[in-house]
């Protein structure tokens, strides 16, 4: 006779999650971020309390940002571990939709357990219930369907027997990895069921490494052997596969320069001789020159997003494309020759097939010229700047940061500047640019520090993103999670203002505070605001003080916020300019076809010339 344990559905879920293990003997789900409401407090809340000694619960300030922390943790762990997030129904759940989309785009695992309406429908409509006039099965949680990799609605307690393993199967699948959403009806959370004891036996989840198809491997090897000027584009898949050493060895052995995407940056240390820097719109002069001249472009673990490819204008018309990716959907983009496989396995098998093949020696001089330009523009010790550019801020932070520091960011001008100018050691860069979500930064920095407690974490955030989501500073203070926030204040949405005025031919409007319809210009005291949440906060008068404050922050066990005012300026000699459409390469942002202003008409003419260069083969 099967032995059973009588538990509520919520208790069974938490008990089961607490024994799902990694190969290293750690819980795969490190714990659960929670904000309680009537839709989850009596069921999931009671269960989390019951298992608090074996399965941690962390309280956040906002559902979206605590999910951002969970996602950043999973990225910091290279997808080998993840976190769960629970919310009540209604706004608690829909606050998580943005975070689910972020995880979906970036192929990152997070388990979302969202409270839902009553399955028995007895008290309908309950507080915060969204009613569909034509479909009685719909709830607000259906918003998750397009932004989750696995979605399930739990309407009976025994359904978790299949739903939970399916959710973790997706989260640990390197190809289908992404957010798993369980919409958990609030009455069902509290209902009891006799669960088989065997369901709660510890289970180890293994992350597979798919090997390439022999035919695909042979075709890609043939293309490489025929190539004289190949270039590799390293994406986030290199890091998730833990293929950094394999990539470094492959590039060096076959003398193939490497360009980086936002997600792939720091898969090679900046000091690696084959690291030619960033690709595409926010690309380095060295990497983009190599890509323009390439006869073969080899994507490794990249989605070939528009920033990476200069909106399909970067690669020469005659260049062939290869895409090494664990998912066939991504591997087939841009009509590339696909090699569907784990990045590490693929590179190791490719180098075995290639033997002594070497490409033509890459232009080492262009790499040195680019690095010299970066150093010059970022400034040197003693180059004090009272109101610095973003590049000078980056230079000051780089000089003061530890060797193993992790720089992170998400949106605005700074991601492009960091991608070009930050010179990390391996693993020293974390950028959320798949969804480029303003408000990810502070919560994300907290998640990174939880994933890598032995590394210095430096969060770059603009005043616009800080205003959108800053409340997890209070959580980090309460939990004594130290990281450093460099808050660059340009008094508005400076990045989009430049896109509006320079990139699209528009007029300044509704972005900088001076161009907004307001009764009075704001004077926001960011230092006082951050200090009110318990952080150590200071305003740096110049880049010298910024360097000193970066060093001082290492001694604290709470977040440090350093505010510094900045100005916008182009980055001459580096390949990056603040003018949208004239960064390292073209970026396709649609321009109005009709206008009564000559500036706008001129910009549209330039736009047509650029899009005519795009490779349209999909």
Q: How many residues does the chain have?
A: 618
**Residue 617: which pLDDT band, with cuts at 50, 70 and 90?**
low
Q: Compute CA distances 39 → 66, 145, 416, 613, whole Å.
A: 18, 19, 41, 53
For the chain, the farthest-separated pair of C-alpha atoms sits apart, in whole angstroms, at: 83
Name the residue with higher pLDDT: 266 or 589.
266
Q: What is the pLDDT of residue 509?
A: 82
Helix axes 9-17, 160-171, angle to 10 degrees: 30
Distance CA 292, CA 281 (A): 13
Q: Which of 87-101, 467-481, 580-594 has the weakest average pLDDT?
A: 580-594
Tell me what pLDDT residue 570 has. 56
Contact assessment for residue 178 and residue 315, using Cβ atoms and an 8 Å cutoff: no
- 289 — pLDDT class (breaks 50, 70, 90): very high
For 220, 234, 312, 370, 419, the CA distances from 298, given in Å and listed in that order, are: 9, 8, 15, 22, 20
Residues ≥6 apart with Cβ < 8 Å to 600: 504, 505, 506, 591, 592
Ranges of each domain in the chain? 4-204, 214-362, 370-565, 593-618
CA dist 28 and 431 (Å) reads: 23
Query: What pLDDT is recorded for position 618?
Result: 56
CA separation (Å) from 46 to 66, 199, 451? 20, 21, 27
57: which 2 tokens?
A: 């619960």
**CATH architecture designation of domain 214-362:** 3-Layer(aba) Sandwich (3.40)
pLDDT score of 1: 79
Pick from 36, 92, 29: nearest CA to 65: 92
State how beta strands 192-196 and 4-8 pair: antiparallel
CATH topology for the 370-565 domain: Rossmann fold (3.40.50)
The CATH number of the structural domain formed by 4-204 is 3.40.50.970
Matching fold, domains 4-204 and 370-565:
yes
Q: Is the pLDDT at 582 greater than 60, yes or no? A: no
Alpha-carbon torsion, ordered 59, 62, 68, 69, to 10 deg: -30
- Asked if residue 573 has pLDDT above 60, the reply is no
pLDDT band with cut points at 50, 70 and 90 for residue 583: very low
Instruction: Give Cα 71 to chain centroid, integer Å.
Output: 8
Phi and psi at residue 425, to the nearest 5° = -80, 175
Mean pLDDT of the chain: 93
Per residue in 418-434, pLDDT (tens digit) is 999 999 999 999 999 99
DSSP 544: H
Count Cβ neighbours within 10 Å for each residue of 584-607 and write b for 16 or more, e otherwise. bbbbbeebeeeeeeeebeebbeeb
CA dist 247 and 258 (Å) reads: 9
Whether the Cβ atoms of residue 286 and residue 258 lie closer than 8 Å to each other:
no
Region of poorest pLDDT, from 358-367, 380-389, 550-559: 380-389
**Phi-psi category of 542—alpha, beta or left, where left has phi over 0 and alpha has psi -120 to 50?**
beta
**Whether the predicted pLDDT of 577 surpasses 80:** no
Strands (E), 280-423: 296-300, 320-325, 337-340, 406-409
pLDDT band at 321; cut points 50, 70, 90: very high
Inter-residue contact 48 to 425 (CB < 8 Å): no
3-state helix, strand and coil shares in percent for the chain, rounded to the nearest 5:
40, 20, 45
* Cβ(13)–Cβ(32) below 8 Å: no
Mark residue 398 as left, alpha or beta (left: phi above 0; alpha: psi -120 to 50; beta: remaining): alpha
**Burial code of 171-186, b = ≥16 C-beta within 10 A, e = fewer?**
bbbbbbbbbbbbbbbb
Q: What is the percent of the chain with per-residue pLDDT over 90, rounded to a whole number? A: 81
Please give the C-alpha separations between residue 69 and each of 31, 284, 429, 444, 476, in angstroms, as whole numbers.
12, 30, 16, 5, 11
Q: pLDDT tens digit string along 9-59?
A: 999 999 999 999 999 999 999 999 999 999 999 999 999 999 999 999 999
For 574, the 3-state DSSP assignment is: coil
- Nearest Cα to 161, choosing from 195, 119, 197? 195
Q: Residue 232 corresponds to which tokens in the numbers above?
A: 């590799």
Crossing angle for the helix pair 441-451 and 472-479, to the nearest 10 degrees: 30
Average pLDDT for 386-397:
91
Structure token digits, residue 457: 């974490």
The predicted pLDDT at position 576 comes to: 45
Report d(CA 340, CA 615) in Å as an integer. Answer: 23
| Residues 194-235: tens digit of each pLDDT | 999 999 999 999 999 999 999 999 999 999 999 999 999 999
State the Cα–Cα distance between residues 281 and 308, nearest whole angstrom.
7
Q: Is the dihedral of CA 270, 272, 277, 279 positive or negative?
A: negative
Confidence of residue 584 (pLDDT cuts 50, 70, 90): low
Rounded CA-CA distance 348/338 in Å is: 16
Give residue-wise pLDDT tens across range 450-463: 999 999 999 999 99
The answer to whether 526 and 490 have CB atoms below 8 angstroms apart is no
Q: Return d(Cα 475, Cα 106) in angstroms, integer.
A: 25
Q: Give the pLDDT confidence of 338-371 residue by residue, as tens digits.
A: 999 999 999 999 999 999 999 999 999 999 999 9
Contact 12, 160 (CB under 8 A): yes
The answer to whether residues 90 and 140 touch, using CB atoms and an 8 Å cutoff, is: yes
Indicate the pairing of strand 320-325 with strand 296-300.
parallel
Residue 268 corresponds to which tokens in the numbers above?
Answer: 């090679």
| Start-to-end C-alpha separation, the chain | 57
């Amino acid at each position: 006779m099967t032995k059973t344990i009588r538990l509520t559905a919520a208790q069974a879920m938490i008990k089961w999650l607490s024994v799902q293990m990694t190969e290293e003997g750690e819980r795969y789900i490190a714990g659960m971020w929670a904000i309680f409401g009537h839709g989850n407090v009596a069921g999931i809340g009671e269960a989390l309390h019951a298992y608090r000694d074996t399965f941690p619960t962390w309280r956040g300030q906002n559902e979206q940002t605590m999910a951002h922390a969970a996602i950043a943790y999973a990225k910091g762990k290279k997808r080998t571990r993840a976190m769960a997030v629970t919310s009540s129904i209604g706004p608690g759940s829909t606050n998580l939709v943005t975070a689910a989309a972020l995880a979906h785009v970036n192929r990152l695992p997070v388990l979302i357990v969202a409270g839902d309406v009553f399955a028995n429908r007895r008290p309908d409509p309950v507080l915060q219930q969204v009613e569909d006039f034509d479909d009685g099965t719909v709830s607000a949680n259906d918003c998750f369907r397009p932004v989750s990799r696995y979605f399930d609605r739990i309407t009976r307690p025994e359904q978790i027997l299949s739903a939970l393993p399916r959710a973790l199967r997706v989260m640990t699948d390197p190809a289908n990895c992404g957010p798993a959403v369980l919409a958990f009806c609030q009455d069902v959370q509290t209902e009891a069921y006799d669960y088989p004891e065997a369901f709660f036996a510890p289970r180890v989840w293994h992350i597979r490494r798919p090997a390439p198809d022999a035919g695909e491997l042979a075709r890609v090897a043939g293309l490489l052997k025929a190539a004289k000027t190949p270039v590799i584009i390293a994406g986030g898949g290199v890091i998730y596969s833990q293929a950094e050493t394999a990539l470094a060895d492959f590039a060096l052995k076959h003398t193939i320069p490497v360009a980086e995407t936002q997600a792939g940056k720091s898969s090679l240390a900046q000091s690696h001789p084959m690291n030619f820097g960033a690709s595409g719109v926010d690309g380095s002069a060295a990497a983009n020159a190599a890509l323009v001249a390439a006869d073969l472009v080899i994507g490794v673990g990249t989605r070939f997003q528009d920033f990476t490819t200069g909106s399909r204008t970067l690669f020469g018309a005659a260049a062939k494309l290869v895409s090494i990716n664990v998912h066939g959907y991504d591997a087939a983009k841009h009509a590339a020759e696909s090699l569907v496989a784990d990045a590490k396995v693929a590179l190791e098998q490719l180098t075995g097939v290639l033997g002594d093949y070497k490409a033509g020696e890459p232009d080492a001089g262009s790499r040195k010229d680019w690095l010299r330009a970066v150093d010059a523009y970022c400034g040197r010790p003693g180059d004090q700047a009272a109101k610095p550019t973003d590049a000078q801020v980056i230079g000051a932070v780089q000089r003061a940061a530890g060797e193993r520091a992790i720089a992170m960011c998400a949106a605005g001008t700074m991601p492009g500047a960091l991608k070009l100018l930050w010179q990390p050691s391996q693993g020293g860069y974390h950028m959320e640019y798949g969804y480029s979500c303003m408000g990810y930064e502070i919560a994300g920095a907290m998640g990174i520090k939880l994933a890598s407690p032995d590394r210095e974490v430096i969060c770059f955030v603009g005043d616009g993103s800080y205003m959108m989501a800053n409340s997890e500073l209070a959580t980090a203070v309460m939990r004594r999670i130290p990281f450093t926030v460099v808050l660059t204040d340009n008094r508005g949405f400076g990045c989009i203002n430049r896109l509006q005025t320079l990139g699209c031919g528009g007029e300044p409007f509704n972005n900088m505070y001076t161009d907004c319809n307001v009764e009075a210009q704001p004077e926001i005291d960011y230092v006082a605001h951050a200090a009110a949440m318990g952080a150590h906060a200071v305003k740096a008068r110049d880049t010298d003080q910024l360097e000193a404050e970066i060093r001082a922050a290492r001694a604290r066990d709470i977040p440090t916020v350093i505010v510094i005012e900045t100005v916008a300026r182009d980055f001459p000699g580096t390949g990056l300019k603040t003018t949208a459409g004239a960064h390292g390469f073209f970026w396709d942002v649609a321009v109005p076809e009709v206008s009564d202003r000559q500036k706008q008409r001129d910009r549209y003419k330039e736009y047509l010339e650029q899009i005519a260069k795009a490779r349209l083969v999909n």
